[in-house]
């Protein structure tokens, strides 16, 4: 086996999968909060591996394939299993089907990404909700938002079904979602509003011990969907010259 510098980011990628596996074990033991923390740990390693790969200039097709396989476990199967144990188990076989939808949609999205990958450059947009974003939405809903006084328990089933359908569709859609803001002068200058919203949302989520995280993720999905709809309306009714998608001549859209 040849040792190359790509082994460093790949090890972090494998830690992502290990965290996902640990999450599944914890959830199966009824330790839902521990499972959620392992999923968050997987997200941390998922972000670090890409950063290290770019710094070391060690991006590769192998790394991309490995990343997708690990993401399928940590952000597809683990959150779906959390949904099943946390709520859908009481619906029997129907519950198995419903809780599996985010995993199936996320895996489909990863396969689409691999089939269309043409560049390893860091991009400003995602096409469709990224699978870690889907996992974070499910996680924040099931572990934090559901336990708040704002949650209408009488609509428990309806809200869970809507959550599954919306998150699953968002992942396989062609809606454009902003990538995580970059802490650079250029990014802050070009996208100050996005940067400010991200900082406020992050601080609020931490300050409320996770309670604000789901509303923040819901806002991210809804605003992205509205922007997509407005652009579609303008292009459909012949107003293409008025469409502003963030200066796409310099931005790159990609599937992750």
Based on the number of CB atoms within 10 Å of its own CB, is 207 exposed (0-12), middle (13-18) or buried (19 or more)? exposed
Q: Which residues neighbour 56 within 8 Å (Cβ) at sequence distance 6 or greater?
A: 5, 6, 8, 9
Asked whether 95 and 89 are in contact (CB, 8 A), the reply is: yes
Q: What residues does each domain of the chain span?
A: 7-254
* pTM (two decimals): 0.85
Name the superfamily (CATH) of residues 7-254: CDP-alcohol phosphotransferase transmembrane (TM) domain (1.20.120.1760)
Report the candidate in 107, 221, 219 with the shortest Cα–Cα distance to residue 167: 221
For tokens 């923040």, the residue is 216
Matching residue, tokens 């806002």? 219
Counting as low any pLDDT under 70, the low residues of the chain are: 1-6, 58, 117-123, 238-256
For 130-181, the pLDDT digits (tens) are: 999 999 999 999 999 998 888 889 899 999 999 999 999 999 999 999 887 7
Q: At what angle do helices 7-28 and 78-86 cross, to 10 degrees?
A: 10
Please give the helix or strand (H or E) that residue 108 lies within, else none. Answer: helix 93-116
- Picking from 171, 18, 21, 161, the residue whose alpha carbon sits closest to that of residue 83 is 161
HSE toward the beta carbon, residue 118, CA cutoff 13 A: 4
């Amino acid at each position: 086996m040849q040792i190359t510098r790509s082994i460093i980011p790949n090890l972090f990628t494998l830690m992502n999968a290990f965290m996902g596996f640990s999450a599944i074990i914890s959830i199966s033991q009824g330790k839902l909060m521990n499972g959620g923390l392992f999923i968050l740990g997987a997200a941390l390693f998922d972000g670090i591996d890409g950063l290290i790969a770019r710094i070391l200039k060690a991006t590769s097709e192998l790394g991309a394939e490995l990343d997708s396989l690990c993401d399928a476990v940590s952000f597809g199967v683990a959150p779906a299993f959390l949904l099943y144990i946390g709520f859908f188990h009481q619906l029997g076989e129907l519950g198995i089907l419903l809780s599996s939808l985010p995993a199936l949609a996320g895996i489909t999205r990863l396969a689409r990404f691999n089939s269309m990958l043409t560049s390893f450059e860091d991009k400003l947009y995602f096409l469709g909700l990224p699978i870690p974003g889907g996992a974070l939405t499910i996680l924040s809903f099931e572990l934090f938002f559901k336990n708040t006084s704002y949650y209408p328990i009488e609509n428990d089933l309806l809200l869970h079904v809507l959550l599954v359908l919306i998150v699953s569709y968002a992942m396989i859609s062609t809606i454009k979602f902003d990538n995580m803001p970059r802490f650079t002068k250029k990014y802050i200058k070009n996208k100050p509003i996005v940067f400010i919203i991200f900082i406020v949302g992050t601080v609020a989520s931490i300050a409320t011990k996770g309670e604000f995280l789901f509303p923040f993720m819901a806002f991210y999905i809804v605003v992205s969907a509205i922007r997509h709809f407005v652009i579609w309306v303008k292009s459909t009714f012949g107003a293409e010259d008025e469409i502003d998608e963030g200066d796409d001549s310099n931005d790159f859209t990609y599937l992750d």
